[in-house]
Amino acid sequence: MDAAKPSPGHEISICFMDTVIAFRVAYVYENLDMTIQCKVSITGIVQGVGFRPFIYRVAKNNNIRGYVKNSGNSVELLLEGKETDITNFLNTIRSDHPPLSLIKDIQIDPCNENKHYDFAVLKSEKNGISDSVLPPDVAMCDTCVGEIFDTKNNRYLYPFTACTDCGPRFTMIKALPYDRENTTMSEFQMCGSCRNEYNDPMNRRFRTESVCCPDCGPVYELYKGDKKISSENPIKDAAIALDNGNLVAIKGIGGTHFCARTTDDDAIIRMRNILRRPNKPFAIMARNLNAAHNIVHFSKKEEDILLSPQRPIVLLEKKNLISSLISPGLSNTGVMLPYSGMHHLLFNYSRQPAIVMTSANIPGEPMAIENKDILSLNSDYSLLHNRSIRNRCDDSVIKLVNKKASFIRRSRGFVPSPLEVNGCESTVLSLGAELDVTACILKKGKAFLTQYIGNTLKLYTLEYLETAINNLIELTGTRNFDAIAVDLHPSFSTGRLGQELSTRFNAPLFKCQHHFAHASSLMTESGAKRMVCITADGIGYGNDGTIWGGEIIAIDDGFERAGHLMIQLMPGGDLAARYPARMAAGILAKKYQKNELSEIFSPYFENAELDIILKQIATKFNSPLTSSTGRLLDAVSALLGVCTERTYEGEPAMKLEAFAMKGKDRVYIPVIIEKRHGIYTLDTTRILDCIYQAKQNYPLPDIAASAQAAIARGLCEMAIRAAKDRNIDLIGFSGGVAYNDAIVRIAGKMAQECGIKFITHTIVPPGDGGISLGQAAMVASS
């Protein structure tokens, strides 16, 4: 085009991301350059991640005039400049955006407003289209770590140091847009120095809402018992208390940890008594990667996860150089690396290579976040700060299963970043099941899961769930729901809460079968259209009123139960879950007579209790029916003497997995599958009987390994047959048993050898922590 002839109103066009956009010339400057204007809206993870200062710098580098601002749920720009400069600008923000940001969409609309003479960062607006993507918390960056150990820096030894690339976000935020007045940092007035950094677009703390320093930010204080003690350096004195064998409760960014030395059996026993966790594994924090090397084995992939900005707990094979009481009976230990300034300073003062750091809560209840609640935990010392925690957020937990990262808990560092859900435009709220609960808001093709909530049998945890839902509703700008989804189980407290929310929002309530929701969750995260899914776990209310848990679910124009484990009695109901030898007796009752069962199980029970169990089996009184894989694994664990009492969820099966790692699959256990009324059934009585018989001739670890292998082969064989029946070429694995590496590996190899693709979860937990996603997707697509 002839540059000497343009005039205002003349139309030109530019091409961006294969889209041609037409503009009208806004102005013609003295040098006859054509100037165009456009408004740009960018959605994704673009608030609280240094996006506006990045935009400012790119605009200045490309001679762009106009402005940038947060607009409720997105970043809004007005750009004015030459067509080549605007094209370069748009391509740069698409390709070189900040590492913690994620661009979902860029909308460009030509405009013709008043002339701009510079580029500015404007105050945020509160409007928007209510599909916000919120920033998660991330670990302190290396630059900030360097500052807190730089004697010449004004933030020397200051634990709350942060910048645009790191620090708390979700745990501070109260409302959108993500500006300081909408966070818990609004309680702290910035000093002049911090305000200068905050207002300087070229500074890495520009618009960092958590910016503060020792002169204006939060502070730590140290308590002994419930009495505050005078301390010039509370973190240093807390480290000394730890080194001297004391228990220290430490309030962090999104919650509180109970801490002790990793080699101090007495301190760990006291911690277990206080927290009422006799056997549940504790996590540890290692000083650095070298310290972790001395405690656990890990691969390059596991190392990368440890060092990631999210800094989750990673389950790693232990070397037994720490107290066996940290994760008794297990082959692995949860390890994480420091992720806050306080952690780095604590290790700077402590002599410990690693510290036990477990969530400060009694079983089933939320982690303590209020100072008064932390002081009531009966630790020897408490290290507390005066910044409020708006959104409690437990540490995330990851385990490699079949060489792929699998979430056991998706929380800090990942929440509330959404998942993309193709083809779902409905707005649905789902509440999960009962244990390991998360809730989910599905809207406009995005699924927002809450942080880990826990066991909603507890009143405080149910209230926490409701609070987390209300926070997520506020932060996503959701006003109405098309549907509310809950578990099918008639007694779950989440179902009652769902009914209340259904009334509140005048939205229909849908009840989703537990294992269908597991399968739906895997379908949703993978984008699959047709699949046969192995859904194996401890418990889920079935469509027939029995307890499911070893299911083959075919998904092809609906959900169909295509197979399951043999239906077995649970003598005593919940007691059979707590004392799994009861479950073993119920399973073997199909093979042995009463007198034979009495002889087999006399080592496990007193005579009076055994008589009651045998009567329950004979009369089927208080003996619900189940096809649960979890209960079968528990029965194997009890029969082999690995674990005869469950003190936390999944304990017998987890200890069986660890025990089986010492053995090899060398005991012949037949896999017998029958098909009745079009549904495959795996004979689990035959499997458990073979295990019982093998005890006379084989090492117990070999039997354990062989038992797991037989269960894996039986589940996968049923899935393969169901897939071939329906001409489906994809098998998935979901449910809590999907954390068992041996079972998943064997099933995956078996499916692939048959030419069938095999998938597992990598984005949400395969356990009940991911079930809310499946519920929401089921309802949205119905």
- Residues with a known catalytic role: 52, 70
Residue 222 CB neighbour total at 10 angstroms: 20
Residue by residue, DSSP assigns 729-754 as -EEEEESGGGG-HHHHHHHHHHHHHT
Spatial CB neighbours of 89, under 8 Å, sequence gap ≥ 6: 58, 59, 62, 64, 79, 81
Residue 230 CB neighbour total at 10 angstroms: 8
φ and ψ at residue 34, rounded to 5 degrees = -75, 135
Please, what sign has the CA dihedral across residues 395, 736, 435, 433? positive
Distance CA 80, CA 70 (A): 18
Distance CA 598, CA 609 (A): 11
Do the beta carbons of residue 562 and residue 760 sit within 8 Å? no
Do the beta carbons of residue 764 and residue 418 sit within 8 Å? no
Spatial CB neighbours of 196, under 8 Å, sequence gap ≥ 6: 203
Please report, for residues 79, 117, 567, the alpha-carbon distance to residue 66 in angstroms, rounded to integers and kept in the order given: 5, 7, 69
Distance CA 584, CA 140 (A): 49
Residue with structure tokens 């083809």?
423
Beta bridge partners of 676: 679
Please report, for residues 112, 131, 303, 394, the alpha-carbon distance to residue 122 in angstroms, rounded to integers and kept in the order given: 19, 21, 41, 35
Distance CA 169, CA 182 (A): 11
Spatial CB neighbours of 606, under 8 Å, sequence gap ≥ 6: none
Distance CA 298, CA 398 (A): 13
Please report, for residues 253, 347, 389, 605, the alpha-carbon distance to residue 168 in angstroms, rounded to integers and kept in the order given: 7, 20, 10, 52
Distance CA 179, CA 186 (A): 9
Do the beta carbons of residue 521 and residue 691 sit within 8 Å? no
Please report, for residues 457, 583, 605, the alpha-carbon distance to residue 573 in angstroms, rounded to integers and kept in the order given: 17, 9, 17
Distance CA 466, CA 262 (A): 36
Distance CA 506, CA 492 (A): 21
For the chain, the residue count is 782
Distance CA 490, CA 544 (A): 13
Residue with structure tokens 């990598």?
762
Gyration radius of the chain over CA positions: 29
Reply yes or no: is the peptide bond before residue 670 cis, omega within 30 of 0: no
Spatial CB neighbours of 242, under 8 Å, sequence gap ≥ 6: 248, 259, 260, 261, 346, 350, 352, 355
φ and ψ at residue 87, rounded to 5 degrees = -60, -45
Residue 232 CB neighbour total at 10 angstroms: 6
Residue with structure tokens 């409020």?
388
Distance CA 217, CA 159 (A): 10
Beta bridge partners of 440: 430, 449
Measure CA 381 to chain center.
30
Measure CA 200 to chain center.
35
Distance CA 497, CA 574 (A): 23
Distance CA 649, CA 657 (A): 14
